[in-house]
Amino acid sequence: MTSTRCVHTIDGPVSGSASVSKEYHSTAPCGTAVLLLPAFFICATLDIDMDYTAVTHTTTDRRLGRLPSGRDVSVTVHRYVGGPGPTVYIQAAQHGIELNGPAALRRLHDRLTDAAIAGTVLVVPVVNQLAFDHRSYMTPGEYDVMNPNLNRVWPGDECGSLQKQFAARLWELVQDADAAVDLHTGTADMLEHVRCRAGDPAAERLAEAFGTSYRLTDRPEDNGGDGSSGTFRAATAEAGIPVITAELSNSRRIAQDAVAAGVDGIQNLLRARAVLPSEPEPQAAQTVLRNDAEPVTASESGLFECRPDIAVGDTVDAGERLGTVYEPASFEKQEVVTATERGVIFSLARESVVVKGERLAGIAIPR
C-alpha cells in the first residue's frame, strides 16, 4: 500500500503496522435459514451528520469458497472509511474479460486515498478471479457446471454451487450498503450505457450522476418477476438498495476513454451521495431507453453478414432488415434478419458465425 493509512487486515481500520490476515466463511450449517434484511435508503443530506474526514484505507482477503483441490478462493476487498455517512459498494469483473472496471477502480483508489469522505466505500476490483485468470467471459464449467455465469446467481446461496457460495459471501457486504455499482464491459459493438430499474428514483439519480449518454431501464417483471433472473442488479434492487450496472465498452483490452468514463462516473456518483464533499458535476441529459424489446436472435445457424450501413446508436423500424444469415459452404440464404421493434440498436453481434437462438442485436425503445 502506498499510504501510511493503508493496512491489510480483517475488519475495518487497524492502527499501527500493517498486517495480513483473512476472513473466513461463517460456520452456519447448510440448511440454516439466512434472513437478509433490506438495506434502507439513507439520504445523506437528511439523516446523517456528514463529517468529512481523511480516508483510512484497508484491504482484506475475503474467502469465498474452496476448489476441488482444497485450495481457497478469496478476493481482495478495499475499504475506504471516512466520517459518518452512507456505504457504497462497488464491484467489477464478474465476467473475466471485462477489464475496464478494474482499471477504473485503480484510478478511483488513487483519488480516494488522499480524499476526505463521509461514509464508507467498499470496492471489490476482481469479483470473479476464476474467469479472470482464464481470460474467459464466464467461469469455466469445470468449476461450476450448474452456474457458470456468476451474474445469474445473486444473492447467492451458501449451500449452493460454487459460484452461489461466492455470491453469498459477497452478499454479506452488499446487503448493508446504501448504494451499489456493478461495473461491466460490453463489446465494441455495444453502446456505452448505464442500466437501472425503471421507477426507482434513487437508482435513477445514481445513473444520472454516473453520466453516460444512454440509460437503459427495465422493470422487475423483465427480470423474472421478482428479480429472480439472478443478476446482481436485479437481486440488489429487490433488496431495496439503489443500484446501477455500467457497461463500459470495450472488453478484452483497456480502453482509456472507457476507464475515464468509469472513474469519473463513480466519483460523480459519490458526490451525488454526499460521500465526497463537492457538488456533483452536472451531466448532459441522458437518452433514456426501455430495455424490454425482444432481442433479435438467429432462427438459423450460419454466417451472419450485418448490413454495413447500420451501427449501434442507430434507430431502426420494426421489420427493418438488419442483415442476412448465409450457409457459408452452399452460399444459400438461410434467414433475413429483421428488427423486432422500432428502437435504438444498443448491441450488435460481433462474431459472425452464429447458431440458432444466438442473440444478434439488442434493441431498446425510447421512453
Minimum distance, C-beta of residue 94 to Zn ion, in the bound complex (Å)? 6
Smaller CB separation from Zn ion, 56 or 223? 223
| 230: Cα within 13 Å, side-chain hemisphere | 14
Smaller CB separation from Zn ion, 98 or 204? 98
Q: Interface with Zn ion by CB under 5 A: which range of 92-100, 126-134, 171-179, 329-337? A: 92-100
Examine residue 233 and tell whether it contacts Zn ion (CB under 5 A). Answer: no
Smaller CB separation from Zn ion, 111 or 252? 252
Examine residue 164 and tell whether it contacts Zn ion (CB under 5 A). Answer: no
Residue 188 identity (one-letter amino acid)? A
Residue 53 identity (one-letter amino acid)? T
Cell output for 153: 446467481
Cell output for 333: 440464404
Q: Interface with Zn ion by CB under 5 A: which range of 104-112, 176-184, 219-227, 318-326? A: 176-184
Minimum distance, C-beta of residue 231 to Zn ion, in the bound complex (Å)? 10
> 92, 124 in Cβ contact below 8 A?
yes
> In 3D, which of 141, 57, 100, 112 has the Cα closest to residue 271?
112
For residue 334, give every residue at least 6 positions away whose Cβ sits within 8 Å of its Cβ, in sequence order, or none: 300, 301, 302, 324, 325, 326, 327
Minimum distance, C-beta of residue 333 to Zn ion, in the bound complex (Å)? 33
Smaller CB separation from Zn ion, 98 or 178? 98
Site string for Zn ion, 113-132 (x = CB under 5 A): --------------------
> 189, 229 in Cβ contact below 8 A?
no
Name the residue whose CB lies closest to Zn ion. Answer: 184
Smaller CB separation from Zn ion, 55 or 123? 123
Residue tagged 437528511 (cell numbers): 46
Q: Which of 62, 95, 197, 273 binds Zn ion (CB under 5 A)?
A: 95
Q: What does the alpha-carbon distance between residue 98 and residue 79 come to, in Å, rounded to a whole number?
A: 22
**Cα dihedral 210/181/206/233 (nearest 10):** 120
Examine residue 184 and tell whether it contacts Zn ion (CB under 5 A). Answer: yes
Minimum distance, C-beta of residue 230 to Zn ion, in the bound complex (Å)? 13
Q: Interface with Zn ion by CB under 5 A: which range of 180-188, 202-210, 228-236, 339-347? A: 180-188
Query: Contacts with Zn ion: how many residues (CB under 5 A)?
Result: 3
Q: What does the alpha-carbon distance between residue 199 and residue 187 come to, in Å, rounded to a whole number?
A: 28
> 55, 112 in Cβ contact below 8 A?
yes
Q: What does the alpha-carbon distance between residue 261 and residue 100 come to, in Å, rounded to a whole number?
A: 10
Within residues 320-339, the interface with Zn ion by CB under 5 A covers none
List residues near Zn ion by CB under 5 A. Answer: 95, 98, 184
